[in-house]
Structure 1
Amino acid sequence: MIDWDRVTELRAEVGAEEFAEVVDLFLDEVETTLARLGQTPGQLEDELHFLKGSAWNLGFREFGALCQDGERRCVAGQEASVDPAAVRASYARSKQAFMARAAEFLSAA
């Protein structure tokens, strides 16, 4: 569900202190996008693209893959087959898994 190697890599790239800010920004931006996901006609593909990139950047592998699948469906003209509730549920599971181990990555050590 979570690519912990990617989490470790990102933390090393940005530094321990900046990593907490990256996580906060990620959570804020993703949750803002999820709140409006699919509500604006014609925006679902772009929203899923944004979520996919954000997810993979922080190692949310399963969530990112689901967003990629939805994005591909939109490109193929199958936007109606995308289930925003399933996307939100995948994020919630991924966030829960991430937060269960977050302390080891968010410490300034």
Structure 2
Amino acid sequence: MIDWARVRELRDEIGEEEFREVVTLFLDEMETSLSRLEPDATAQRAESDLHFLKGSSLNLGFSDLASLCQRGERAAATGAPETVTPEEVRRLYSASKAEFMAQMPAQLGV
């Protein structure tokens, strides 16, 4: 669910203090973006929203969420935005966030 190698790489690149700020910013941006997802969004809007969520997820190692968003983005690009629902994305984000927060101390020694 979480690519801990990517998370460690990011933390090592930017330092522990900046990493904490990035995590806080990431969580805030994700929750804001997730709140805007709509089940009846146009294909173009869904594609754009899922593209943003995919990129953000990849940056912080939320690999399963990034994969789901990529699948939804591709489906929306072909005119089938209903393939991946906002509820699916929100559920996986919640599960990923819970795992990330629970495992971060052990994985990163923070």
**How does the TM-score come out when normalised to structure 1?**
0.91
Deviations along 1:1-43, one digit per CA (max 9) or x if unpaired, are: 1000000000001111100000000000000000111265441
Matched position secondary structure for 1:43: helix
Question: Could you say which structure has the greater relative contact order, defined with CA pairs below 8 angstroms and 6 or more residues apart?
Answer: 1
Matched position secondary structure for 2:88: helix
| In structure 2, C-alpha distance between the alignment counterparts of 1:5 and 1:12, rounded to whole Å | 10
| In structure 1, C-alpha distance between the alignment counterparts of 2:82 and 2:60, rounded to whole Å | 28
Given candidates 94, 97, 101, the residue that maps to 2:103 is 101
* Equivalent in the alignment of 1:55: 57
* Mapping of residues 87-98 of structure 1, within 5 Å: 87-98=89-100
Q: What number of residue pairs does the alignment pair up?
A: 107
Q: CA deviation at 1:50?
A: 0.4
Segments of 5+ residues of structure 1 without an aligned counterpart are none
Question: Which portions of structure 1, spanning 4 or more consecutive aligned residues, are displaced by more than 2 angstroms?
Answer: 38-42, 102-107
| In structure 2, C-alpha distance between the alignment counterparts of 1:43 and 1:29, rounded to whole Å | 17
2:4 alignment partner AA:
W
Indicate how the Cα distance of structure 1 residues 47 and 106 shifts in structure 2: closer, same or farther if over 3 A, else same.
Answer: farther
| Percentage of pairs with the same residue | 52
User: Retained in 2: the 8 A contact 1:70–1:82?
Assistant: yes
User: Retained in 1: the 8 A contact 2:53–2:69?
Assistant: yes
| In structure 2, C-alpha distance between the alignment counterparts of 1:58 and 1:27, rounded to whole Å | 10
| In structure 2, C-alpha distance between the alignment counterparts of 1:81 and 1:69, rounded to whole Å | 8
Pick which of 79-88 and 1-10 moved more.
79-88
Q: CA deviation at 1:46?
A: 0.7
User: Retained in 2: the 8 A contact 1:60–1:94?
Assistant: yes
Matched position secondary structure for 2:21: helix
User: Retained in 1: the 8 A contact 2:68–2:84?
Assistant: no
Q: CA deviation at 1:106?
A: 7.5
CA RMSD of aligned residues (A): 1.5
**How does the TM-score come out when normalised to structure 2?**
0.90
* Equivalent in the alignment of 2:88: 86
User: Retained in 2: the 8 A contact 1:19–1:106?
Assistant: no
